[in-house]
């Protein structure tokens, strides 16, 4: 059995037999005799404007390259599949870590970046996310922090003086919030991907050896069900009971806004949930802690992993210029460069600590403390077969709506996961 390629472009890759191509062309072109256009394609997000600001900063520094950021607003997987099929990949493009990077590397589509300067600077713990066969094939542009983001002022109002480190303590915190007419959790559950993130964190808390488990899962020799599954689902029940009355009607945008406006005290998400928070509520005070889904405080680690990898088209017409842009992107020392717009301005974490973040936010201080104390763990779902998020999220939605119980939910996930491996 073998892993499938991410999402909908599997069929496209298979159809066009993409095991090496010659005479490739790219979206890169010469703007004039003096300037060469280098394009980075990104998926649609609220951060796209910041990406372009980072590109503009580079363009102002030199006069031979025009660095352009193009945002794809449709299905990004379909976009990549079409570009691979037409042999027209852009100079640089976003890839998901682990399986997607590995697939493009295996098909000889992206450049080996092992000799690039950034490799000696980034955290060793994140290198596997952008690697294949012992070589680096992507730059981990930023690290994302999945955990419990909480409103410090609402916690204080409810009389919560200590951050919950166990499930029992979180139960008590929810009860105090409810007693003060404060909704504990902002709901995002209409969007299945948010529940996929949540389940990954919870499952990671209950698995003693995640690397061994993911290997066994990818061979079809393990299961989403384990001896501690009850802990996972009791946490899901806690969220159902503390997310308001119409929790399945709220998507991620509504949930992010509800948290930012102070309608809910907590949200389990990544730092991307706070992208528009300052606009909605400039006085919002946010802290961060690892998800306490068990009664062992040591299990409440912060989930930190690579959110985005930047890959380079091996057959770019302007490879030298493209690598020059990548060198700019990966410069963690430039306070006015790419990292300022893609990390500092958005609250995302850079892949190396050379850069001292300017942002004055409690949640980033909390993140730094988790990193410095080595109290983090990777997102295990990223290391499973491509297509796993499309299984987990909808299955948990079924549990949240009451259409399935724990046993049925886990059975559905296992059956669908095995189909991915066929």
Residue 63 sits in a domain of what CATH number? Answer: 3.40.190.10
Low-confidence ranges of the chain (pLDDT < 50): 1-28, 30-32
Rounded Cα–Cα distance for residues 157 and 101 (Å) = 46
Rounded Cα–Cα distance for residues 222 and 231 (Å) = 18
Question: Is residue 196 within 8 Å of 399, Cβ to Cβ?
Answer: no
Domain membership flag for residue 2: no
CA distances from 208 to 11, 226, 341, 350, 413 (A): 35, 10, 37, 28, 20
| Total of domains in the chain | 2
Whether 200 and 281 share a structural domain: yes
Rounded Cα–Cα distance for residues 291 and 270 (Å) = 12
- Strand spans (E) along 227-301: 264-269, 286-289
**pLDDT single digits (tens) 348-392:** 677 765 556 566 688 988 988 888 888 988 888 888 887 898 999
Residue 216: domain span: 145-303+379-421
Whether 160 and 295 share a structural domain: yes
Domain membership flag for residue 406: yes
Whether 299 and 268 share a structural domain: yes
Whether 197 and 114 share a structural domain: no
> What's residue 7's pLDDT?
35
Whether 408 and 299 share a structural domain: yes
Residue 159's Cβ-count burial label (10 Å; 0-12, 13-18, 19+) is exposed
> What's residue 33's pLDDT?
57
Domain membership flag for residue 373: no
Domain membership flag for residue 372: no
Whether 159 and 297 share a structural domain: yes
Q: Which residues, in sequence order, are CB contacts of 412 under 8 Å at separation 6+?
A: 395, 398, 404
Whether 323 and 415 share a structural domain: no
Domain membership flag for residue 95: yes
Whether 11 and 75 share a structural domain: yes
Whether 126 and 40 share a structural domain: yes
Q: Residue 41: helix, strand or coil by DSSP?
A: strand
Rounded Cα–Cα distance for residues 93 and 91 (Å) = 7
Whether 190 and 294 share a structural domain: yes
**pLDDT single digits (tens) 380-403:** 888 888 789 899 999 999 999 999
> What's residue 344's pLDDT?
61
Residues forming a β-bridge with 185: 266
Domain membership flag for residue 101: yes
> What's residue 28's pLDDT?
46
Q: Which residues, in sequence order, are CB contacts of 251 under 8 Å at separation 6+?
A: 188, 190, 191
Instruction: Give helix 319-329 / helix 48-61 axis angle, nearest 10°.
Output: 110
Domain membership flag for residue 43: yes
Residue 215's CB is within 10 A of a number of other CB atoms, namely 13
> What's residue 10's pLDDT?
33
> What burial letters (b/e) apply to 286-296, b meaning 16+ CB within 10 Å?
bbbbbbbbbee
Helices (H), 311-361: 319-329, 338-339
> What's residue 158's pLDDT?
98
Pairing mode of beta strands 302-312, 92-95 = antiparallel
Whether 208 and 258 share a structural domain: yes
Query: What is the length of the chain?
Result: 422
Whether 212 and 124 share a structural domain: no
């Amino acid at each position: 059995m073998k892993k499938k390629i991410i999402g909908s472009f599997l069929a496209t890759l298979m159809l066009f037999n993409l095991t090496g191509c010659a005479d490739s062309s790219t979206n890169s072109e010469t703007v004039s005799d003096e300037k060469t256009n280098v394009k980075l394609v990104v998926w649609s997000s609220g951060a796209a404007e910041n990406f372009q600001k980072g590109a503009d900063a580079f363009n102002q520094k030199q006069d031979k390259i025009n660095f352009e950021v193009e945002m794809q607003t449709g299905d990004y997987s379909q976009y990549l599949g079409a570009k691979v099929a037409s042999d027209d990949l852009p100079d640089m493009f976003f890839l998901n870590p682990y399986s997607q990077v590995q697939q493009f590397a295996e098909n000889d589509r992206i450049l080996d970046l092992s000799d690039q300067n950034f490799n000696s600077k980034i955290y060793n713990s994140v290198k596997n996310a952008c690697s294949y066969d012992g070589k680096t094939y992507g730059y981990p542009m930023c690290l994302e922090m999945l955990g419990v983001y909480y409103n410090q002022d609402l916690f204080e109002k409810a009389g919560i003086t200590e951050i919950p480190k166990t499930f029992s303590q979180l139960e008590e915190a929810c009860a105090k919030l409810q007693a003060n007419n404060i909704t504990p959790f902002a709901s995002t559950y209409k969007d299945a991907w948010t529940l996929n993130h949540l389940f990954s964190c919870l499952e990671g808390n209950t698995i003693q050896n995640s690397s061994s488990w993911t290997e066994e899962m990818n061979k079809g020799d393990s299961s989403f069900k384990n001896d501690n599954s009850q802990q996972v689902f009791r946490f899901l029940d806690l969220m159902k009971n503390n997310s308001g009355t119409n929790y399945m009607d709220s998507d991620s945008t509504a949930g992010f806004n509800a948290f930012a406006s102070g309608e809910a005290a907590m949200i389990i998400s990544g730092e991307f949930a706070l992208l528009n928070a300052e606009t909605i509520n400039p006085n919002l005070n946010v802290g961060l802690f690892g998800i306490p889904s068990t009664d062992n405080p040591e299990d409440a680690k912060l989930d930190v992993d690579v959110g985005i990898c930047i890959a380079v088209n091996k057959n770019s017409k302007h490879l030298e210029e493209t690598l020059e842009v990548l060198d700019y992107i990966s410069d963690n020392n430039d306070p006015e460069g790419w990292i300022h717009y893609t990390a500092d301005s958005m609250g995302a974490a850079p892949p190396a600590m050379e850069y001292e973040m300017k942002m004055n936010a409690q949640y980033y201080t909390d993140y730094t403390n988790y990193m410095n104390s080595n109290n983090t763990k990777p997102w295990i779902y990223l290391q499973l077969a491509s297509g796993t998020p499309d299984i987990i999220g909808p299955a948990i939605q079924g549990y949240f709506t009451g259409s399935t119980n724990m046993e049925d939910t886990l059975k559905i996930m296992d059956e669908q996961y095995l189909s991915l491996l066929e």
